[in-house]
Structure 1
Amino acid sequence: MARKIGFYGVLAYVLYGLFFYWYLFHFADTSLQFEYEGSKADPATFLNGRELMLSEEYSKIRNLLFFLSTPFEWLFYLFILLLGFGNAFKKWAGQSTKFKLVQTAIYLFWLSLFAFLATTPISYISYALSKSYNISTQSFSSWMKDELIDFWVNFGMMIIIVGVLYWLINKSSKRWWLYAWLLSIPFTLFLMFLQPVIIDPLYNDFYPLKDKELEAKILALADKADIPAEHVFEVNMAEKTNALNAYVNGIGSNSRIVLWDTTLNRLNDEQILFIMAHEMAHYVEKHIYFGIAGYLLLSLVGLYLTARIMEYVIGRWGNVLKIPQVNDIRSLPLFLMILSMLLFISSPLSNFVSRYQELRADQFAIEMTRDTQAGIETFQELTRAGLSQVNPPLLVKIFRYGHPTMLERISMIEEFEINNKVKETK
């Protein structure tokens, strides 16, 4: 039975991969509709022939890697269960110590290590791809350092999460999912509070914006939007990437407005102010808090479904998967696999909500700055710097895009521009 499940798992993954290869490279049409040809959203008007070719090539390969990587994770957990690695990890943990919490940490270490070794090749391919297309400027040693930081940060958090999770499962086999969700609320808020000052600096250096004249303009814009900002931060990303970005993260007194130095190097002040107005919209419209609420709602549904699915799977195939019961630590790969599947399935919904919020932020930025030229040039430069597709395939948009497509963003500004001119002539 284990061989049969493993065979069908591999077969499903291969067929899934072939489908997305066919879809991305042979079926999906990324050309623009006739009415957009020659507009400011048409990449042929602001990218040269080589940039057009590279953006299509890079996007197709990157999208294929995205669609292959998540199901590969499911396949990894399935084979951990089928091949009995969970038994080996538990045995090694039991031989090392008698303390339950330390046993859990050791089990987690081995599971995390095997997952790291299994997924690193795909991560490296993604890194090498971005390097070959001149998106990444990061050295291999720097990339490997970030991967190892990821490993230890995730491992540290998993010790806490998994330790509490299985304690709850042992205490309440029926309602553990509800108690886990209730505890996740303060934990999520605590992590968001810590991220800007503890976690993010592990990867990059953050410091107050050096260009004080630009900072004054940004803070004046923040004051106009009634945002109590005192500092704008920049982060040294040029040693890692040529892509552009800016964001607001954190909550409460630890919230930050952050600009990548690549953005500062490639955009002029008007374009940067447009980006800042966009980011300020998230604060003004409380998108961060709506995002937290949405995440917590989805996690409640996700934990409930995970609990029910785990009970069913272990009840039916527990012997094959070598999981005696839900409260056994060997059920963790199954828990992670189901949760990952549910996150993937729910991503179209979360991306849809995110795209709506980003569109609102774009509209806010246009209304606030009234600088349509800066907005259009900013999105054109973002397309060039990231070799992005202006009009990505539908499935890519649904599963990958948390922002509107560049076609939608630039066209929205052009429409605003036209409507404004019509009003002025009346």
Structure 2
Amino acid sequence: MPTSPDYSPSMLLTLAFAMALVAGLALKFWLASRQIRHVARHRATVPAPFAQHITLAAHQKAADYTVTKGRLGMLEMVLGCVGLLGWTLLGGLDALNQALLATLEGGMWQQLALLVAFVAISGLIDLPLSLYQTFVVEERFGFNKMTLRLWLADALKGLAVGVAIGLPIAALILWLMGAAGPLWWLWAWCFWMGFNLLLMVIYPTFIAPLFNKFQPLEDESLKARVTALMQRCGFSAKGLFVMDGSRRSAHANAYFTGFGAAKRVVFYDTLLRQLAPGEVEAVLAHELGHFKHRHIIQRIVTMFALSLAGFALLGWLSTQVWFYTGLGVRPNISLDPAITAAPNDALALLLFMLVVPVFTFFISPLFSQQSRRHEFQADAYAVTQASGADLSSALLKLYEDNASTLTPDPVYVKFYYSHPPATERLARMQTPAHP
């Protein structure tokens, strides 16, 4: 009588990873294909609810922009899948680790070198598509305002910030993994959360100005209007600023940044050029709705909980030999008791960051749904504090100016969209508030 094969944990992980990777890629392709076909099929006619506000030319531009990005996204999916296989099951990460071990032996410097080399190689692999997205796709549709010189300056600044902040953080986490005992992951999580909270405070003041200029809002009438709105809503901010977003893109936006006393309101200069004062007030009221409903706090708590679970899982997986071998990596194990093996901590970090998204992709619709619910709640709050007509007209202008399609595929929306489609948002604004 035939016996069933004896699958080791390593083999089971390999099979699970390969199946999840293939299933995820197939699902992504199916969703992207649906989106492209649906948008192209509705390209010829502006949807009836928008016919009086959106021109056919603008609607077709949005359709073409969406289709172009969708096709580029499909290429990016394939390359990402190939790259992930190359790093894991095909032995790329293992080869890089062995080469660095031969050069630097084991220890903190070898582990940091592994992290840096991985980031550098991955960045170089992603570079052609990034350049194509910015200087071909965005340029073709009139959104890119960046010169190559500015792009290079941003890249160098980003590299400097990454080295200045990322390397010390990586070194501390690696040190904790090796020196803090079995509960290192709990200490690492506490540090990571503390750093993220600190970053919310220092980012607006010290990091963001490295990339953009922030000037105080000078329009006194708009400033008075916005200040009155924030007072009505019981919200205080450190200042109202205008960011030179037009240096890089024609896309418009407004956002809150910072945490606690460091909160500030930031308007893109493109937004102020495109919207009337009442519409700017309505957009800001929507953002205030997120604070009124404590969405920011909810997201921070969710991030805390998920990261705690992630660190705990990493703490366990990093001690399992099958976790490495099942993903194509030879862990650093010494067969001689008198010889201390090189640490596997950097390997564990990289493998975890590479593999976990393959499995968590399938639950991403849950987070998208929650985000859309928050957007509906913020819209409902905004129409109680500002003009609903102004909010509707502002959204229509932003959809048009950002070339956001008005006819997305419903299934694609449920899986990916963090914001509801324009049709649903405007329909909700004309009905009683929803919980």
Shared fold (TM-score greater than 0.5)?
yes
Aligned equivalents of 1:79, 1:355: Cα separation in 2: 36
Task: Say whether residues 1:180 and 2:197 are aligned partners.
Answer: no
Task: Say whether residues 1:292 and 2:303 are aligned partners.
Answer: no
Change (3 A) 1:148 1:345: farther
Query: Superposition pairs for residues 322-337 of structure 1, below 5 Å?
Result: 322-324=330-332, 327-337=344-354
Superposed displacement of residue 383, structure 1: 0.8
Task: Say whether residues 1:261 and 2:275 are aligned partners.
Answer: no
Partner of 1:403: 419
**Could you tell me the TM-score, scaled by structure 2's length?**
0.81
2:146 counterpart (129, 138, 150): 138
Change (3 A) 1:315 1:412: closer
What RMSD in Å do the two structures reach over aligned CA positions? 3.6
Aligned equivalents of 2:231, 2:34: Cα separation in 1: 48
Task: Say whether residues 1:158 and 2:176 are aligned partners.
Answer: no
Deviations 1:203-238 (A, max 9, x none): 211121121221111111111111123521110011
Aligned equivalents of 1:376, 1:309: Cα separation in 2: 49
Partner of 1:108: 115
Change (3 A) 1:320 1:350: closer
What letter corresponds to residue 23 of structure 1 in structure 2? R
Q: Retained in 1: the 8 A contact 2:238–2:262?
A: no
* Secondary structure of the structure 1 residue equivalent to 2:372: helix
Change (3 A) 1:253 1:330: same
Aligned equivalents of 2:367, 2:27: Cα separation in 1: 23
Aligned equivalents of 1:101, 1:146: Cα separation in 2: 29
What letter corresponds to residue 63 of structure 2 in structure 1? E
2:395 counterpart (379, 383, 390): 379
Q: Retained in 2: the 8 A contact 1:267–1:378?
A: yes
Superposed displacement of residue 249, structure 1: 1.4
* Secondary structure of the structure 2 residue equivalent to 1:226: coil
What letter corresponds to residue 38 of structure 1 in structure 2? A
What letter corresponds to residue 76 of structure 1 in structure 2? G
What letter corresponds to residue 111 of structure 1 in structure 2? F
Partner of 2:259: 251
Aligned equivalents of 1:14, 1:402: Cα separation in 2: 20
Change (3 A) 1:245 1:354: same
Query: Superposition pairs for residues 299-310 of structure 1, below 5 Å?
Result: 299-308=307-316
* Secondary structure of the structure 1 residue equivalent to 2:325: helix
Change (3 A) 1:364 1:152: same
Change (3 A) 1:283 1:199: same
Question: Mind listing any 5+ residue stretches in structure 1 that lack a counterpart?
Answer: 420-426
Change (3 A) 1:261 1:121: same
> Greater CA deviation, 113-122 or 392-401?
392-401
Aligned equivalents of 1:368, 1:186: Cα separation in 2: 34
Partner of 1:198: 206
Aligned equivalents of 1:153, 1:311: Cα separation in 2: 32
Task: Say whether residues 1:24 and 2:35 are aligned partners.
Answer: yes
1:237 counterpart (220, 226, 245): 245
Aligned equivalents of 2:58, 2:420: Cα separation in 1: 21
Task: Say whether residues 1:390 and 2:406 are aligned partners.
Answer: yes
Aligned equivalents of 1:260, 1:315: Cα separation in 2: 46
1:38 counterpart (23, 34, 48): 48
Partner of 2:61: 54
1:338 counterpart (355, 361, 385): 355
Superposed displacement of residue 256, structure 1: 0.9
Task: Say whether residues 1:352 and 2:369 are aligned partners.
Answer: yes
> Greater CA deviation, 111-120 or 72-81?
72-81
Aligned equivalents of 2:298, 2:327: Cα separation in 1: 43
What letter corresponds to residue 329 of structure 1 in structure 2? A
Q: Retained in 1: the 8 A contact 2:174–2:346?
A: yes
Superposed displacement of residue 387, structure 1: 0.7
Change (3 A) 1:166 1:94: farther
Aligned equivalents of 2:344, 2:432: Cα separation in 1: 57
Aligned equivalents of 1:310, 1:64: Cα separation in 2: 37
Task: Say whether residues 1:362 and 2:379 are aligned partners.
Answer: yes
Superposed displacement of residue 172, structure 1: 5.7
What letter corresponds to residue 55 of structure 2 in structure 1? N
What letter corresponds to residue 344 of structure 1 in structure 2? F
Change (3 A) 1:394 1:312: farther
Aligned equivalents of 1:20, 1:353: Cα separation in 2: 20
Aligned equivalents of 2:327, 2:374: Cα separation in 1: 46
Aligned equivalents of 2:321, 2:421: Cα separation in 1: 39
Change (3 A) 1:327 1:55: same
Superposed displacement of residue 30, structure 1: 7.5
* Secondary structure of the structure 2 residue equivalent to 1:404: coil
Q: Retained in 2: the 8 A contact 1:214–1:269?
A: yes
Change (3 A) 1:175 1:117: same
Aligned equivalents of 1:394, 1:313: Cα separation in 2: 43
Partner of 2:340: none
Change (3 A) 1:203 1:359: same
Aligned equivalents of 1:203, 1:197: Cα separation in 2: 12
What letter corresponds to residue 378 of structure 1 in structure 2? A
Q: Retained in 2: the 8 A contact 1:234–1:261?
A: yes
